[in-house]
Amino acid sequence: MKSRIIKALTALLIIGILITGATLAFRSTENRATNIITIGSIDITLTEPLWDAATEQGTNLPVVYPGVSFDKDPTVKNVGSAGAYIRINLDYKTTPHVAEGEEPLPERDLDPSVPADLEIIDMIRSTFMYRDETGAYIHGVSPDFELRDDGKYYCKTVLEPREEQILFSKVLFPAQWTAEETEKLGDAFSVIVKAEAIQSAGFDDYVNPETGEAMSAMDRAWEVYNTYVYIKPGD
């Protein structure tokens, strides 16, 4: 079956964690690629409008301390003409902490299958805050997303044309973190945000005739995406 797919990529670089004072600086860049296979328009954008406004398009970067929050709002918008399922993946990297005077270490990927790395990833996730319908900020990501075992955040509903979804709205580093805890984050770390979409039309709830296992239309769409969409390394 032909499918229309799109992926967008933005890099959210979190740089300069100083154990003394715990100063943080943030920089964002964006890159996106499209691959439309069939007739129609499945197209999404991945932006951070509040962050861009607060930092003059990322050129005027704030210095942030634990206990102080700031706007950071990965936003996926459907700019195509058809409904789509979307999901967001966060990849994590860290530059390990070294003592003063020691040689710096290279950045490395964090592997969620490694318990020590997963602890760091969970620390980073704990800084995300979402603004609910009342205007209050709650810890975590939007309730419209579900974090699954593959580490990706799946939007629970179809994203219709001109609609958008925000994964989280602010970042807040807890004031109660100790120097030992912040050392686990490393001297710097980065979170790479990727958004993917596939058409929602043409997929229905499905029951495997051999196993009897039920699968929702959304899960069926992502199964097709995972099976038939080839993404080149580095895209």
The confidence score (pLDDT) of residue 115 equals 95
How many Cα neighbours within 13 Å face the side chain of 13?
10
Rg (the chain; Cα; Å): 19
- For the cut 60, the answer to whether the pLDDT of residue 235 exceeds it is no
Task: Supply φ then ψ for residue 85, to 5 degrees.
Answer: -90, 140
Per-residue pLDDT reduced to its tens digit, 146-190:
999 999 999 999 999 999 999 999 888 888 887 788 788 887 777
Query: C-alpha distances in angstroms, 115 versus 93, 121, 126?
Result: 15, 10, 16
pLDDT reported for residue 91:
87
- 38, containing H or E segment: none
> What pLDDT score does 161 carry?
92
pLDDT tens digits, one per residue of 179-217: 788 788 887 777 888 888 888 888 888 888 888 889 899
The pLDDT tens digits of the residues spanning 78-98 come to 888 888 899 998 888 888 888
Do strands 75-78 and 69-71 pair parallel, antiparallel, or not at all (unpaired)? unpaired
Domains in the chain: boundaries = 5-228
- Encode pLDDT of 102-121 as tens digits: 888 888 999 999 999 999 99
Q: How many CA atoms lie within 13 A of 147 on its CB side?
A: 9
Tens digit of each residue's pLDDT (9 = 90 or more) over 15-68: 333 333 333 333 333 333 333 344 456 788 888 877 667 666 555 555 556 777
Q: State the pLDDT at residue 3.
A: 45
Q: Residue 31, by phi and psi: left (phi above 0), alpha (psi -120 to 50) or beta?
A: beta
